[in-house]
Amino acid sequence: MEPATPSWLPEGKTTAFALTIPVDCETVVLAEGRRFAQHPLPMSHQVYEIQRGVPRLLGMLDALGIKATFFVPGWTLERHPQLVEPIVGAGHELAHHSYSHRPPTDMSESEERADFERALEVMAAFGVTPAGHRAAYWSASSRTLDIVAEYGLRYDTSLMGDDSPYLVRRRDRDVVELPCHWILDDFDHYAFLPQPRIGRNVEAPQTAVGIWRAELDGLRRYGGLYQLTCHAFLSGRAGRTLALRGLLEYALSCGDVEFMTCGEAARRALAAPPARPRAGVTETQ
Amino acid sequence: MEPATPSWLPEGKTTAFALTIPVDCETVVLAEGRRFAQHPLPMSHQVYEIQRGVPRLLGMLDALGIKATFFVPGWTLERHPQLVEPIVGAGHELAHHSYSHRPPTDMSESEERADFERALEVMAAFGVTPAGHRAAYWSASSRTLDIVAEYGLRYDTSLMGDDSPYLVRRRDRDVVELPCHWILDDFDHYAFLPQPRIGRNVEAPQTAVGIWRAELDGLRRYGGLYQLTCHAFLSGRAGRTLALRGLLEYALSCGDVEFMTCGEAARRALAAPPARPRAGVTETQ
Amino acid sequence: MEPATPSWLPEGKTTAFALTIPVDCETVVLAEGRRFAQHPLPMSHQVYEIQRGVPRLLGMLDALGIKATFFVPGWTLERHPQLVEPIVGAGHELAHHSYSHRPPTDMSESEERADFERALEVMAAFGVTPAGHRAAYWSASSRTLDIVAEYGLRYDTSLMGDDSPYLVRRRDRDVVELPCHWILDDFDHYAFLPQPRIGRNVEAPQTAVGIWRAELDGLRRYGGLYQLTCHAFLSGRAGRTLALRGLLEYALSCGDVEFMTCGEAARRALAAPPARPRAGVTETQ
Amino acid sequence: MEPATPSWLPEGKTTAFALTIPVDCETVVLAEGRRFAQHPLPMSHQVYEIQRGVPRLLGMLDALGIKATFFVPGWTLERHPQLVEPIVGAGHELAHHSYSHRPPTDMSESEERADFERALEVMAAFGVTPAGHRAAYWSASSRTLDIVAEYGLRYDTSLMGDDSPYLVRRRDRDVVELPCHWILDDFDHYAFLPQPRIGRNVEAPQTAVGIWRAELDGLRRYGGLYQLTCHAFLSGRAGRTLALRGLLEYALSCGDVEFMTCGEAARRALAAPPARPRAGVTETQ
């Protein structure tokens, strides 16, 4: 079977590769309890992201000529404002990732709305108007897509209902959902922190990248969106950065893989929506 | 040692390969709590099965000429009726997998019976009379096999007492047990959902398929039933489908492996029951 | 470095390979709660051991000419008396593994003593006087070795204080401790049962055997006792049996590995106790 | 990109390899509950460290000519005084690792200070003045670095804020932080003890060493400190020692990797502090 070019991709391309980099920083730890601000180990574990992880990943992306999408909570932007220029100045996309990195499913409607707006205000202070949004922990509430539509963002990326982009109609607007998946998240392979209990994952970089490459080759066969999520405090470790670089170089060499930011993927999907194999989409999707 | 053909298999064959595909869909999430209907992430994670997973697997099976057995809860059939035609029309078997996908060990006798009958009714409305049954979560109660026998089904596939089919006498009838096993279930390798907490598995497709192939080669040596369970919301992901395809192509190339539906395996086992190596079967098996 | 022959081994040998096979059968499940006797899935999972696992392993050992040590709880012997003849008749060792397979650390002294004696009585009824003992779950109490010495058994195999046999002085007698270790137990790689929650392990046979081979090669370098524990309900699965066979064939081919039962290992260690690298053994070891 | 020599390393070297060996011994078990002193299994599991693990690792390091840093709690030194001479006499560094191996985050200030001082006293009785400190479980409290500075130690190694050494100013002194990380700790790959529940890790040595080598190659690319933590009760098992030896031999063969004790790494980092890629270090790091 010769894979066809999906409607929303350039001729000859089977797969859009959107590399996304959340910069959750200390929010991951502080969301588990304010007391952890007094625990040097987990705090230093997250600050690594700023000290070493983001610079290292930015350097690698620059060397490879790839533009990524950075999802940075408002809290991180306020705490580490020096992050913005190197990201935006290098042509990467900066997108909405909540203010406090608490899951919307744990918030009331007014809390969620306030948190959403506060993040927009922080971004505006840096001159950034985000094109899209990702819920903290991908834990969108039943209201999240309404809010995304209401504030005029073009896309959301928190759901898993397909492996191609799909349109969700909310408030008389089409929001593009750019689906994600656990497979393509370094958190489930690399996150290790016993207290607070963030994770117990110490997968080999070779194994994680092997899983990611298997999914990339799968999508190249069937066509779709390959959205990889790499946290700078995880994938910014030296051996993991090298392994990720190997995957990116492989993708660049494929010929049928097109790198793009989430913003561009959403623009393309709106202009020429991908076909879905059959109807039956449920209400809550 | 030259492996002999088991009594119940065609001449020259060592192993029956029964590919089974449960289509649990949203029931997996809703059985953990009705409130999750309001959580877009887990709901979209399950709806993927309908949107993409089942069509992709059906396409692959069609390309390879393999007939599978689909275990679809009654609830799924009611919610996604468009599923039936592509499955039955392509010659696959549709079998009984409860109505609500709650484990029988958690139900009273009257609840279990009502759930069992309701599933039969839904299937009848689609013109389907199931030949066999699989308990939700393989969690048969001490009554389940009685009920299966009472309603005249030919086989059950929820137990693990052997790796060849075996007969269980209930209500004066022989029910064929087609044993399953955790090794050959993609759930334990691939299921990942933190809330509700369905699983934390993100095994590499290469590793999962390596385990499955090791067991296939083992059964080819000793003879028996190879029953593989692949959920469409898990194995329907692109890279996993490709890896599964590789396993199926390998099995097709072996020469001594015969693909068959569970219904056919049960018919064969009833006609020429496999020998068991020794007596001592306990009551509860 | 040329590894020397340890004092207790035949000339030219570096490593004693003692394959041990517990036959815990339903006790593993019933020890978690009597109610599970009514759950067909876990009961069938354990009965597999009798139906298929033990016969398959016995057949393989016969083909390779290897004698193993079977640790069978008294309860299992009463429930499945047909087990004894194929094991003992083939020249394997049958050893003491408690009556009820409850951990001694959870029993009072009188309970532990009664359970110990009851197992001896059951074995005596089959004409067997055990040379050694393994605590259920390796969970010896502070009294266990005293009891082993008191009843005149030659060895125990429940502790991990070395990787060569060592003598423990109790009740004016030397009991040989044949140390075990988690690495060399298939339970930690293969045991999977969610209810009762026995384990969540579905390791690839290649991986498990790779770990076992790494440890074997390590002991061949340093010299010592390689005691491998394989449960028939786990390693008796087809693919795992084949993988285990590969390991055994490798060990047979090494030349410096001597297969022996635990009884023989203990006899040798008593006759020519291995040197320990330094003093400092603590009281509780 | 040609990796440059970091300021603090000898010309032509990219990476400092500091092998660290904690000798926690029974403290790991006793910190979970004094009652476990009566459980022979976990106690023997830890005593293995003294009986076999430390001698085996010392022998290997001697053969390779590598000097390591041993972090030994005061309790271990009192209980197993015979440990000191073989370590110090062979030229390895003996460093401060608390008295009781309880995490500082669980202690009051006076408890932490008393525990810290008691360890110093025990070491002094052996004629050892430690140059550096590692918190038990890497769980430094917000006071720990102050105490380290106050007692005049040159370095701490409990945090993860970078993968090069960095200076932390406390009490008007610069303390060198030699950052560690979970990736490079054998505990997370090998620690297995169900009761007390220390861990459930039985990773293949090949896999663990593969992860370690990936990180080493990453640091060789980017330059930094490679601090590997191997417990003698874990990495002193035969197959794991052999695998570790393979990694050390690889590192020795690289040419750009310099082995050194933590003390030497700290001296170098104080003399020519490594550059950090950007500012923004937070208070709590």
- Is it the case that residue D283 has pLDDT exceeding 80? no
- Sign of the Cα torsion C116, C120, C121, C123 reads positive
Give dist(CA D284, CA D144) in Å, integer.
12
pLDDT at A277: 59
For chain A, the average pLDDT equals: 94
Question: What is the pLDDT of chain C when averaged over all its residues?
Answer: 94
D125 has a pLDDT exceeding 60: yes
Contact (Cβ atoms closer than 8 angstroms) between residue A52 and residue A236 = yes
Q: Closest Cα of chain B to C276: distance in Å?
A: 40
- The pLDDT confidence band at residue B282, using thresholds 50, 70 and 90, is very low
What's the pLDDT score for residue C5?
85
Half-sphere exposure of C139 (CA within 13 A, CB side): 15
Spell out which residues of chain A touch residue B48, defining contact as CB-CB under 8 Å: 160-163
Task: Note whether D163 and D179 are within 8 A (CB).
Answer: yes
Residue C148: pLDDT above 70? yes
Residue B283 pLDDT > 60: no
b/e string for C125-139 if b means 16 or more Cβ within 10 A? eeebebbbbbbbbbb
Bridge partners of residue B258, in order along the sequence: B16
HEC profile for A247-266? Answer: HHHHHHHHCCEEECCHHHHH
pLDDT at A206: 96
Minimal-distance CA residue of chain C relative to D53: C162
Identify the band that residue A236 occupies on the pLDDT scale cut at 50, 70 and 90.
Answer: very high
D230 or C285, higher pLDDT: D230
State the average pLDDT for chain B.
Answer: 94
Neighbors of chain A by Cβ distance (3+ pairs < 8 Å): B, D
**Chain C residue with Cα closest to B220:** C238
Instruction: Name subunits touching C (3+ CB pairs < 8 A).
Output: B, D
Residue B277: pLDDT band by 50, 70, 90 thresholds? low
Residue D197 phi/psi, 5-degree rounding, is -80, 85
Would the CB atoms of A138 and B41 count as touching at under 8 Å?
yes
Q: How is residue C276 annotated by DSSP?
A: P
Strands D15-22 and D257-259: parallel
Q: Is the peptide bond before C179 cis (omega within 30 degrees of 0)?
A: no
Burial group, residue C22, by CB count within 10 angstroms (0-12, 13-18, 19+): buried
What percent of chain A has a predicted confidence (pLDDT) above 70? 95
For residue A205, cis peptide bond before it (omega within 30 degrees of 0): no
Pairing of strands C173-177, D155-156: unpaired
Structure tokens at C184: 């060399």
Contact A47 D221 (CB under 8 A): no
Average pLDDT over residues D107-124: 98
Q: Do residue B239 and residue A222 have CB atoms under 8 angstroms apart?
A: no
d(CA A186, CA A189): 5
Residue that wins the pLDDT comparison between A281 and D6: D6
Question: Is the CB of residue D221 less than 8 Å away from at least one CB of chain A?
Answer: yes
pLDDT exceeds 60 at position D278 = no
B210 close contact with C: CB closer than 8 A: yes
Does the N-terminal peptide bond of residue A86 adopt cis geometry, omega within 30 degrees of 0? no
| pLDDT (tens digit per residue) in A209-227 | 999 999 999 999 999 999 9
CA-CA distance, C271 to C5, in Å (whole number)?
15
Indicate whether D285 pLDDT > 90.
no
**Strands, DSSP E only, in B218-281?**
224-229, 257-259
The pLDDT assigned to D280 comes to 36
Beta carbons of C23 and C83 less than 8 angstroms apart: yes
CB-nearest to B202 from A188, A219, A222 is A188
**Gap from C27 CA to chain B (nearest CA, Å):** 13
Show residues of chain D in contact with A63, CB under 8 Å.
Answer: 1
> Residue A275 half-sphere exposure, CB side, CA atoms within 13 Å?
8
Q: Is C82 in contact with B189 (Cβ distance < 8 A)?
A: no
Task: State the Cα–Cα distance between residues C236 and B175, nearest whole angstrom.
Answer: 25
- For residue D245, list chain C residues with Cβ-Cβ distance below 8 A: none
Reported ipTM: the value is 0.94
pLDDT at C258 over 80: yes
* CA dist., res. D153 & res. D156, Å (int): 8
Predicted confidence (pLDDT) per residue in D252-262, tens digit: 999 999 999 99
Helix (H) or strand (E) run with residue B18 in it: strand B15-22
Q: What tokens appear for C91 in the block?
A: 């020249």
Do the beta carbons of residue C94 and residue C84 sit within 8 Å?
A: yes
**Across residues B20-48, what is the average pLDDT?**
94
Residue D240 forms contact with C (CB below 8 Å): yes
Least CB–CB distance from B47: residue in A1, A158, A281: A281
pLDDT of D170 > 90? The answer is: yes
Is C52 close to B159, i.e. CB distance below 8 A?
Answer: no
Q: How many CB atoms lie within 10 A of CB B59?
A: 16
Q: Would you tell me which residues 112-171 of chain B have a C-beta closer than 8 angstroms to some C-beta of chain C?
A: 135, 138-142, 144-145, 158-163
* pLDDT 10s digits, A149-191: 999 999 999 999 999 999 999 999 999 999 999 999 999 999 9
| Cβ contact C44–B221 (<8 Å) | no
Kindly indicate the confidence band of residue C278, based on its pLDDT and cuts at 50, 70 and 90: very low
Inspect the interface and report whether the beta carbons of C162 and D55 lie closer than 8 Å. no
Closest CA–CA distance from residue D82 to any residue of chain A (Å): 33
Distance from CA of C90 to the nearest CA of B (A): 16
Residue of D nearest to A193 (CA): D182
- Section C146-154 average pLDDT: 97
Mean pLDDT of D226-231: 98
With b for 16 or more beta-carbon neighbours within 10 A and e for fewer, the B151-164 pattern comes to eebbbbbbbbbbbb
Nearest CA in chain D to A195: D139
Q: What value does the mean pLDDT take over residues A60-72? A: 98
Contact C51 B189 (CB under 8 A): no
Q: Is the pLDDT reported for residue C37 higher than 80? A: yes
On chain B, the residues whose CB falls within 8 A of the CB of C195 are: 105, 139
Alpha-carbon distance of D157 to D262, in angstroms, equals: 9
Find the CB nearest C210 among D51, D206, D241: D206
| C-alpha to C-alpha distances, A36 to A33, A39, C117, D103, D188, nearest whole angstrom | 6, 5, 53, 14, 22
Minimal Cα distance from D105: which residue of A? A39
Under the banding of pLDDT at 50, 70 and 90, the label for residue C284 is very low
* Subunits close to B (at least 3 CB pairs below 8 A): A, C
| Residue with tokens 């505990």, as numbered in its chain | D187
Q: How many CB pairs under 8 A join C and D?
A: 115
Q: Residues D78-91: pLDDT tens digits?
A: 999 999 999 999 99
Question: Which residues of chain D lie closer than 8 angstroms to A241, CB-CB?
Answer: 218, 222
Rounded-to-integer distance, Cα A130 and Cα A95, Å: 5
pLDDT of residue C51: 94
pLDDT confidence bin for A281, thresholds 50/70/90? very low
Q: Which residue has the tokens 């291995």?
A: C274
Helix A205-222 and helix B238-254, axial crossing angle in degrees, nearest 10: 80
Q: Give me the count of residues in chain B.
A: 285
D contact chains, 3+ CB pairs < 8 A: A, C
Name which of C41, D252, C261, A132 is nearest B159 in CA terms.
Answer: C41
Q: What are the residues whose beta carbons fall under 8 Å from the beta carbon of D73, sequence distance 6 or more? A: D23, D24, D25, D27, D97, D98, D99, D100, D101, D119, D136
- Contact of D105 with A39, CB cutoff 8 Å: yes
- pLDDT for residue A132 is more than 60: yes
Tell me: pLDDT of D31 over 90. Answer: no
**Of B72, B61, B69, which Cα lies nearest the Cα of B20?**
B69
Cα angle A228, A234, A240 (rounded to 5 degrees) comes to 80
Query: Residue A214, class by beta-carbon neighbours within 10 Å (0-12 exposed, 13-18 middle, 19+ buried)?
Result: buried
What is the model's pLDDT at position C277? Answer: 60
- A:B CB pairs within 8 Å: 117
Task: Read off the pLDDT band of A31 (50, 70, 90).
Answer: confident
Both structure tokens of C106: 């959870």
Taking the C-alpha atoms of residue C219 and residue A213, their distance in angstroms, rounded to an integer, is 37
Mean pLDDT of B103-108: 96
Nearest to C139 among D41, D192, D238 (CB): D41
Instruction: Work out the average pLDDT over B175-197.
Output: 96
- Given an 8 Å threshold on Cβ–Cβ distance, is B51 in contact with A179? no
**pLDDT tier for residue D277 given thresholds of 50, 70 and 90:** low
Cα–Cα dist C244/C205, whole Å: 8
Q: Tell me, what amino acid is at D120? A: L
Between chains, do B240 and A219 touch, taking CB under 8 Å as contact? no
- Chain C, 20 to 59: residues with Cβ < 8 Å from chain B are 26, 37-41, 43-45, 47-48, 50-52, 55-56
- 8 Å CB contact between C226 and C184: yes
pLDDT category at B215 given cuts 50, 70, 90 is: very high
Residue C174: phi, psi to the nearest 5? -90, 120
The type of residue at B198 is: I
Residue with tokens 């996150």: A191
Q: Is the pLDDT of residue A283 over 50?
A: no
Are C285 and D240 an interchain contact pair (Cβ–Cβ within 8 Å)?
no
Contacts of C85 (CB under 8 A, 6+ apart): none
**What residues in D contact C140, CB-CB < 8 Å?**
40-41
Distance CA C92, CA C263 (A): 10
In this model, does residue C4 exceed pLDDT 80? no
Q: Do chains A and B touch (3 or more CB pairs under 8 A)?
A: yes
Could you give the CA distance from residue C93 to residue B172 in angstroms, rounded to a whole number? 42
D41 with C160: Cβ contact below 8 A: yes
Point out the residue among B39, B51, B56 whose CB comes nearest to the CB of A222.
Answer: B56
- C178: CB partners within 8 A, 6+ apart: C18, C132, C155, C156, C157, C165, C225, C227, C262, C265, C266, C269
Beta carbons of A284 and B55 less than 8 Å apart: no
For chains B and D, having 3+ Cβ pairs within 8 Å is answered no
Do A161 and B51 make contact, defined as CB atoms within 8 angstroms? yes
Tokens 């006609």 label which residue?
B271
- Token pair of A281, please? 């989409």
B contacts of C29 (beta carbons < 8 Å): none
CB contact under 8 A, D40 and C276: no
pLDDT of C3: 60
